[in-house]
Structure 1
């Protein structure tokens, strides 16, 4: 099975070890799971964005008075 060497500063490694301990995992298992979890998160976000894009027209027709905050004239106060 392929493996990977990753370099950390002493401070970074201390933080990563603490996080692994907090989850009850070995450092190796924690770093493995972290990478896999990030991969799944990116897939989920891409899928959610694609889903929203597909439904945007239908939503806009059903709720014509709803204006996305990015298109409102009052900027950050709209959010």
Structure 2
């Protein structure tokens, strides 16, 4: 199975060890899971963005008075 070596400063390693211990995991398992979680998070965000884009037209029709934040003028109050 492929593996890699990761370099940390002493302070960084201390923080990572503490985070792993807080989750009840070994350092190796914690770092493995961290990478997997980030990959899954990116997939989720991409899927949510795609879903929102597909529904944008329907939302705009249902709520024609809503203005996206990027298109609001200065001083416009947030809903």
Smaller-chain TM-score range? over 0.9
Q: Which moved more, 1:69-78 or 1:47-56?
A: 69-78
TM-score w.r.t. the length of structure 1 is: 0.93
Distance 2:28 2:10 in 1: 17
Residue 60 of structure 1 corresponds to 60
Residue 51 of structure 1 corresponds to 51
Q: Give the C-alpha shift of residue 68 in structure 1.
A: 1.1
Pair 1:66–1:76, CA change in 2 (3 A):
closer
Residue 71 of structure 1 corresponds to 71
Unaligned runs of 5+ in 1: none
The CA RMSD over aligned residues, in Å, is 1.5
Unaligned runs of 5+ in 2: none
TM-score w.r.t. the length of structure 2 is: 0.93
Describe the SS at the equivalent of 2:25: coil
Q: Give the C-alpha shift of residue 69 in structure 1.
A: 1.3
